[in-house]
Amino acid sequence: MKRVLLSWSSGKDCAWALHLLLQCEDCEVVALVTTFNEAFGRVAMHAVRRELVQMQAERAGLPLWEIPLPWPCTNEQYDAQMKGVCERAVAEGIDQVAFGDLYLRDVRAYREKQLAGTGLEPVFPCWDIPTRELAREMIAAGVRAKLTCVDSRKLPESFAGREFNEALLRELPEGVDPCGENGEFHTFCHASPVFREAIAVQLGEVVVRDGFCFADLMALR
């Protein structure tokens, strides 16, 4: 039985990766790992609040490894933090690190290089699944997510804060990946087959910064 640490961005793809891993008979997911911008307490690019990620982990029934990153963060600082994560994983008897990447080969090569020589095997449960098919399969299975970050060069800013659903898929401009794999958008998954219950969220402020449109989500109590 392989012990697996899952890289957790808070979005739909990592939630689906967890869903697939939980169906594997020869692996056990033991924890989620998320990096946070230390200055703002949010997931980088997704801009999701730390509290919401903690709620995801609690609903998935898994411990969350919270990794703080300085802002700004150099490559050297990031690599040092990831080295610490790998050392901790090996010390805790973890065999594999899983990622929700879909088809970007340069990203996969980077992750494989990062883990080379650490004693940890990289795995990619969602790899090369056609993304239009994947998006519809996620939605049909009960994955619910909101767009928290939109690249305004690729999508209208009005997409920020919208629900990831069939209506959104129909309205995506030509050339935009249905899962946003090329960075067109990032999401927060608030319901999933892997959560014991959904996370109620409300949309807060929407801001434009550095060519990206960010939608702030808050937990509804």
Give the residue extent of every domain in the chain.
2-123, 137-219
Give the helix ranges, DSSP H, for the chain.
12-21, 50-60, 75-91, 105-115, 131-141, 166-171
Q: Which CATH number fits domain 2-123: 3.40.50.970, 3.30.457.10, 3.40.50.620, 3.10.180.10?
A: 3.40.50.620
Residue 70 confidence (pLDDT): 87
Residue 108 confidence (pLDDT): 98
Residue 34 confidence (pLDDT): 97
Q: For the chain, list residues with pLDDT below 70.
A: none
Per-residue pLDDT tens digits for 40-65: 899 987 899 999 999 999 999 999 99
Per-residue pLDDT tens digits for 149-179: 999 999 999 999 999 999 999 999 999 999 9
Sheet holding 201-209, edge to edge: 185-191, 144-151, 212-219, 201-209
| Secondary structure of residue 144 in the 3-state scheme | strand
39-62 in b/e burial notation, b at 16+ Cβ within 10 A? Answer: eeebbbbbbbbbebbebbbebbeb
| Secondary structure of residue 97 in the 3-state scheme | strand
Residue 221 confidence (pLDDT): 76
Contact between 152 and 211 under an 8 Å Cβ cutoff? The reply is yes
pTM of this prediction? 0.96
Distances from the Cα of 189 to the Cα of 50, 127, 139, 165, 186, angstroms:
13, 19, 11, 12, 10
